Structure 1
């Protein structure tokens, strides 16, 4: 027969069969095992690893920057110590104030104006190196014409003539109160800023700086002086030397006739 048990009879117990007093759950793994790590601890570990990685990247970047700076410094030093060449020359310093002066580009034409080749038919320049050869000295020419008419003078020989062929100057007789005048013919250049006894080079300088304009008329008065160069193209065409002439008005008669004193020089065709 079975024995009946009352409510207060003790029941046998087995390990893990009943929860502990108070209704709490048994920790995973059973009694005596450590609890699992908290999620907050894992986050701190990842953050620490991230900071360490960033620091490593920054250190690497600093090392690369320092290496590039050293490399650039070496390049600059090499360029500074490199000898100057024709195409890479340091600017020269001027004599005053230490200011650099511009040098002519390599291969630039350093020829002076006198060295520049002349075009065909162009007269040579007249300068201090020009050697003039005396042609004639203080020849007297008398130019006489009726009122408003003209006479001409060829200063290559020299001689007076009634036509303009080969003439260098034209004399026109004035009427009434109008003075007689001198005018240069085509191809002739001259100056009325001349004076008695001038040298050919002095004449050349005045022609260069105080040129008589085209068709300009110069009043004929005692003391008037004109320097002229003959027509270069005409001289070459006829095989004559190019000439310089000094024309001085030494007298003007009551009838209007003008007496000219002329001196001429041959100009070498340099």
Structure 2
């Protein structure tokens, strides 16, 4: 009988040891619908909730956009006459007598001789700019204070413009889309307008 009682005690000890070593997850009630491959939010792949952009769609400029300097404070002199605008390609930058690949034009009002800038097709900008603004500040101004389509922009010494170039034209030519900051540094009596232009590449 002594041996029998010891055998029973050893069996109880073995059972207790086995239960003590069993993983806690095995002792917990199963969660209905839970599977072995279920991921918690922190384990989801990065960017899983991102919305992809359609091919050819203009990128949205955000606080995370990284701009690459292209050139800084390059001088240009534009001089127009009545019914003869002067154009500028701000990607290079370069003054032109024709509108091909131009981003902006200088126009003279034939009745008043007043000077205005005009933005070319699919070029957007804001007059709410200051010299030495960052490209991110320019992007915010273009978002919140956009120049209306075909609206004239008065030329004034000391004024500045933030401009994004034509995205479709840049893609078609294999070039990069750009953010431009243009500062009017002088307006002569004959209407010759001197500007300083800085540019940054915008990632696609």
Task: Give the TM interval when normalised to the shorter protein.
Answer: 0.7 to 0.9
Per the normalisation by structure 2, the TM-score is: 0.75
TM-score, normalization by structure 1: 0.57
SS at match of 1:117: coil
The CA deviation at 1:173 is 2.0
Shift in alpha-carbon separation, 1:238–1:253, aligned structure 2, 3 A: same
Residue 175 of structure 1 deviates from its aligned partner by: 3.8
- Do the aligned residues in 2 keep the contact of 1:250 with 1:261 (CA within 8 Å)? yes
Separation of aligned partners in 2, 1:155 and 1:234: 13
Bigger mean CA deviation after superposition, 145-154 or 255-264? 145-154
Contact 1:137 1:262 in 2 (8 A): yes
Alignment correspondent of 2:9 = none
1:235 — aligned with what?
Answer: 170
Q: Does 1:210 align with 2:145?
A: yes
Instruction: Indicate the RMSD between aligned Cα atoms, in angstroms.
Output: 2.0
Cα deviation, 1:133-186, whole Å, max 9, x if unaligned, reads 110000011001222320100010000001101000011123453420001000
8 Å CA contact 1:174–1:256 kept in 2: the answer is no
- Counterpart of 1:179? 114
Of 251, 254, 264, which aligns to 2:189? 254
Asked if residue 267 in structure 1 is aligned to residue 178 in structure 2, the reply is no
In structure 1, what is the equivalent of residue 51 of structure 2?
116
In the alignment, does 2:154 pair up with 1:222? Answer: no
Distance in structure 2 (CA, Å) of the matches to 1:176 and 1:235? 36
Residue of structure 2 aligned with 1:131, choices 62, 66, 79:
66
The alignment status of 1:170 with 2:137, answered yes or no, reads no
List alignment gaps of at least 5 residues for structure 1.
1-83, 87-109
The count of residues paired between Structure 1 and Structure 2 equals: 163
Tell me which of the two structures has the higher relative contact order, counting C-alpha pairs closer than 8 angstroms and 6 or more residues apart: 2
* Equivalent pair of 1:229/1:243 in contact (CA under 8 Å): yes
Q: Does 1:147 align with 2:101?
A: no
CA–CA separation in structure 1 for the residues paired with 2:94 and 2:32: 65
Q: Distance in 2 between matches of 1:85 and 1:236?
A: 52
Moved over 6 A (4+): none
- Aligned equivalents of 1:146 and 1:178: distance in 2? 9
In the aligned structure 1, how far is the partner of 2:32 from the partner of 2:143?
43
More strand by share: 2
Residue 120 of structure 1 and its aligned partner are, at CA, apart by: 1.7
Residue segments in structure 2 that go unaligned for 5+ positions in a row:
1-30, 34-47
